[in-house]
A = this chain, B = another copy of it.
């Protein structure tokens, strides 16, 4: 008998991963390839090839569809990737139409912040939660909101950007056009930038082998753990700004579960105590204390299974 499967495609700026999932959510096969600096035409052929290999590995597959989670911006309604920022040349690429023709099957395209959150909803930290809000702190700050197992979309299918909420009117400028948004204050590059311009940053420059432009956020975290006063101050400020933004997420959404991933979880020891302290402030109106704040459980696998889930959720 044929085996019903969905293909998940996790398209990042560096790697593309492809996985086949059965209707029980089991991963049957996966493969991957480097996508960095590959142009759209070759990139799509590469993805098609990975999908063909994946299908070939399965005995009598019956393909329900292909779900793609891509580094954004993407247009889920038109099915195009509009991301020349982290996928060089991928502007207005009609990937849905292309894969739909190549495999004669339904194809969905979503922002990868959404597919990762969907994966954590389906198989990870937010299993079964009615309202899941996900925050990923890394090079940027990505957010996603899953309600009743569905991706929340703004007007015209747009992906909201909670990472660009404004937090500090006197904060640094951001490419979003404003000053002091969350991302400009707590992302990896934001922390490096603060460290470069901080007074008494000699120890941090040492960690970057003498070159201030090479100070990375992880050096700042490391130095803070070792007690360097400058690094401690920078991480404390970042933890404060992080907590401020989380308070706003809760005030706006009151989610059942808030899933955290990225750098903020790698430096959980530096971020979470401040957050816990902040959340203890009694609030007469919103049940802050009942929101479960959890680390993401699935790593990269969340994006893969969440992409497949965009198809499977319609077939379960």
Binding site for B on A (CB under 8 A): 73, 130-131, 153-156, 158-162, 164-169, 175-178, 240, 244, 247-249, 251-256, 281-287, 290-291
A222 to B164, CA, bound (A): 35
The distance from the CB of A71 to the nearest CB of chain B, in whole angstroms, is 13
Question: Which of B160, B249, B255 lies in contact with A286, CB distance below 8 A?
Answer: B160
A-B contact pairs, 29 of them (CB 8 A): A130-B155, A131-B155, A154-B255, A155-B254, A155-B255, A155-B287, A155-B291, A156-B290, A160-B251, A160-B252, A160-B253, A160-B254, A165-B165, A165-B247, A165-B251, A165-B252, A166-B167, A166-B244, A166-B247, A166-B251, A169-B240, A175-B284, A176-B285, A177-B282, A177-B283, A178-B247, A178-B283, A248-B248, A252-B253
The answer to whether A169 touches B256, judged by C-beta atoms less than 8 angstroms apart, is no
The answer to whether B255 touches A161, judged by C-beta atoms less than 8 angstroms apart, is no
A167 to B241, CA, bound (A): 11
Query: What copy number does this chain have within its complex?
Result: 2
Question: Which of B160, B252, B281 lies in contact with A177, CB distance below 8 A?
Answer: B281
Interface of A is mostly: loop
The answer to whether A155 touches B256, judged by C-beta atoms less than 8 angstroms apart, is yes
